[in-house]
Amino acid sequence: MSEAGVLSVSLKMDKIEYRVVIKFFVKEGLTPNEIHSKFRNVYGDSSPSFSTIKKWAAEFECGRTSLEDDPREGRSKSASTPGIIEQVYDMILDDQRMKVREIAETIGISKERVGYILHEELDMKKLCARWVPRLLTADQKRTRMKISEQCLERFNKNKTDIVRRFITMDETWIHHYTPESKQQSKQWAEAGCSASKKTRSVP
């Protein structure tokens, strides 16, 4: 890199720094053209543009004191504070099926920000329930296993019979309600968690 290039890099300013300088020159009574000329003499190509200097000079002349950028609507940094993130997480733990819109309206932030917190900060995603033939309790599974063992034992005892008979039966499950759809079963889950189980219902 040339000596001029090294000088240009070393003289680059942070935006807050050049705003301080603009504010000082405004207090001195300099015009935007004069301020821009001074920047060019010292910083060369690294100096802020004339339009930027003119904008901030006008702001300071109108009594502005802050050097920070104005907050942008819908992009408030305060929406991703640890307190807000914890509040979103608590709401999800209370109701894993809560919608993004409901969270946004309750907390008072945008839906985009809620989505960012859920996916990026909390690493969560919404999963549909996984269809399975039956949802059996531990007692039901144990009962079925005992019955199967008894049937197998009886079958083995009758191996010498010329005709082997083995009668089985099945159960019929009747639903007394209208089951929810797969979309309605969606709920939030942390990374690495599997989807919940749901029995498949037929008319």
Among 70, 189, 195, smallest CA distance to 132 is for 195
pLDDT digits (tens, 9 = 90+) for 37-81: 988 888 887 788 888 888 889 988 888 888 887 665 544 455 678
Count of the separate structural domains present in the chain: 2
How far apart, in Å, are the Cα atoms of 5 and each of 10, 12, 42? 9, 11, 14
**Is residue 43 in some structural domain?**
yes
Q: What is the average per-residue pLDDT within 97-119?
A: 87
Same domain for 54 and 81, yes or no, is: no
State yes or no: pLDDT of 131 exceeds 50: yes
Q: Which of 61, 87, 106 is the last residue of a domain?
A: 61
Can you give the pLDDT at residue 5? 42
The answer on 50 and 91 residing in a single domain is no
User: For residue 102, is it within any domain?
Assistant: yes
Cα-based distances in Å from 169 to 25, 49, 166, 172, 202: 94, 85, 10, 10, 20
Do 52 and 99 fall into the same domain? no
Nearest CA to 111 among 122, 121, 96, 101?
101
Q: Is residue 177 part of a domain?
A: no
pTM of the model: 0.38
Range of the structural domain that residue 115 is part of: 77-125
Residue 34 vs residue 11, higher pLDDT: 34
pLDDT for 75: 47
Give per-residue pLDDT as tens, 136-194. Answer: 778 888 888 998 888 888 777 776 654 556 666 666 666 555 566 666 767 777 777 77
**Is 60 exceeded by the pLDDT of residue 6?**
no
Please tell me whether residues 50 and 97 are part of one structural domain.
Answer: no
Q: Where would I find the H helices in the chain?
A: 3-10, 15-28, 32-43, 50-61, 82-94, 100-107, 111-116, 138-157
Q: CA 42, CA 58: separation in Å to the nearest integer?
A: 22
| Residue 150 maps to a domain | no
Q: Give the pLDDT score at 65.
A: 83
pLDDT given for residue 1 in this prediction: 39
d(CA 185, CA 96): 10
52 and 82 in a single domain? The answer is no
Which pLDDT score is estimated for 25?
92
Q: Give 119's Cβ-side CA count (13 Å radius).
A: 9
Q: Is residue 155 part of a domain?
A: no
Residue 202, pLDDT score: 56
Residues 54 and 92 in one domain: no
Together in a domain, 7 and 57: yes
Give the whole-angstrom CA distance, residue 92 versus residue 194. 16
56 in a structural domain: yes
Do both 91 and 52 map to the same domain? Answer: no
Residue 169 lies in a domain: no
Tell me if 16 is assigned to some domain. yes
3-state secondary structure of 50: helix
Q: Give me the mean pLDDT over the 75-100 stretch.
A: 80
**Same-domain status, 49 and 84:** no
| SS3 of residue 80 by DSSP | helix
